[in-house]
A = this chain, B = another copy of it.
Amino acid sequence: MALKPVTRKSVSDQVFDQVLDEVVDGSLAAGEQLPSERQLAEVLGVSRPAVREALQRMAQTRLVEVRHGGGATVRDFRRYGGLDLLPRLLVRGGGIDPAVARSIVEARTSIGPGIAALAAERGGPALGVALDAVVERLSGTTDPVAWQELALEFWDVVVDGADSIVFRLMFNGLRAAYEPALPALAPALAGEVGQVDPYRVLTAAIGAGDPATARAAAERVLAPTNESLISAFAALTETPGGDD
């Protein structure tokens, strides 16, 4: 009997989710006016403060624009949305959106090597040691989920070594989208468990302060995961998967 933690979503959370869904799936088109707070409150059967908290959060993500006395307007999420709505786009409509999944893979592949090169430039030997420690733990791991978690931590350390805050913030956003899906994703990526050699090569290049080699090594670390990720996402389309 597998028990799972009870989820208790607050009212404002639910309002937020509903409005966000309508914005993302186009039921509320860009430029459209939202119902007034009072109307929303009545329709949804909740209080106005609850609605307001949800709308303020929507405004915080730049998905709606609220003007004092002038109502709230939906904005084009493709034009104004941030990385934070990546999870919502990924699971669009009950299944995984393959275009979004592909895009995540592309971003990994495209950005990772550059970060590795920066880390090689700046990290110094200390970074190599830190990475070695992670790789060591990686080599002793057989559980797919734990392995992916460690892979994520490996990159976390690399990103720290790159010492470039923009990459750091991007990584945070991607991780926030990626990590919750790990339990559902990891089994499909089980094939790469145990393949620590690419990580060792990358670690060595970074520790040696060799950006060019690090860039190439990063590509070899990321490449094998890519096709597996795409198919993993595809396989997830009709699978319940890890929620929240």
Contact = CB atoms under 8 A, between A and B. Distances in A.
Chain A contact residues (Cβ within 8 angstroms of B): what range? 35 or more
B82 A84 contact: yes
Contacts of A111: 110-111, 114
A225 to B, nearest CB: 16
A49 B55 CA distance: 13
Interface in A83-105: 83-86, 89, 99-100, 102-104
A60 interface: yes
B107 A166 contact: yes
Contact of A53 (B52, B166, B172): B52
Contacts of A146: none
Q: Chain A interface secondary structure, helix, strand, loop or mixed? A: helix
Contacts of A167: 103, 106-107, 110
Contacts of A173: 82-83, 173
A4 to B, nearest CB: 18
Contacts of A56: 12, 53, 56-57
A83 B86 contact: no
Given A83-B169, A86-B165, A110-B111, 6 more contacts: A53-B53, A57-B60, A78-B168, A81-B172, A82-B82, A110-B115
30 contacts: A49-B49, A49-B52, A53-B56, A56-B56, A57-B57, A60-B60, A60-B84, A62-B176, A81-B169, A82-B84, A82-B176, A83-B166, A83-B169, A83-B173, A84-B84, A85-B169, A86-B165, A99-B163, A99-B165, A100-B165, A102-B164, A103-B164, A103-B166, A104-B166, A106-B164, A106-B167, A107-B164, A107-B170, A110-B118, A110-B167
